[in-house]
Amino acid sequence: MLKTLSTLEFGETGRVTEIRASRHELNCMGLRTGKKLKMITRQPIKGPVVVLIDEVEIAMGLDLAAQVTVNIE
């Protein structure tokens, strides 16, 4: 099932299938297509959204998270 990262529930895991924002922005933090991630925190309104990838926490704004598509397994 595909979801945007901004709608993932706490504790939910999935694999990144598409990044519509500037890739550079997220790639340099270690978030890229194909990576598995887990939702840690999702604050409302502007974020932050914090996900765990390879045991590294990555924080971003809600806007950016809305541009990332994740396949829930």
Partner 1 sequence: MKEQPDNTITVLMMGNPNVGKSALFNRLTGANAVVSNYPGTTVDYTAGKLIEGHTTYEIIDAPGTYSLEPHDAAEKVAVLLLDERRGDVVMIVLDATKIERGLYLAFEIMEREYPCIIALNMTDVAHDKQIKVNAAGIQRLLGIPVVETTAISGEGVKKLAGAIRKAQVADMDAIRKRLEGSGEDRDETVPCPGCGGCRGCG
Residues binding partner 1 (CB under 8 A): 15, 17-19, 23-24, 26-30, 32-35, 54-56
Reading the block at residue 52, the tokens are 């765990």
CB of 59 to partner 1, least distance (A): 12
| Sign for the pseudo-dihedral over CA of 15, 21, 24, 28 | negative
CB of 62 to partner 1, least distance (A): 17
CB of 7 to partner 1, least distance (A): 19
Q: State the CB neighbour count (10 A cutoff) for residue 64.
A: 21
- With respect to partner 1, which residue has the nearer C-beta, 9 or 55? 55
Helix then strand count (H, E) for the chain reads 2, 6
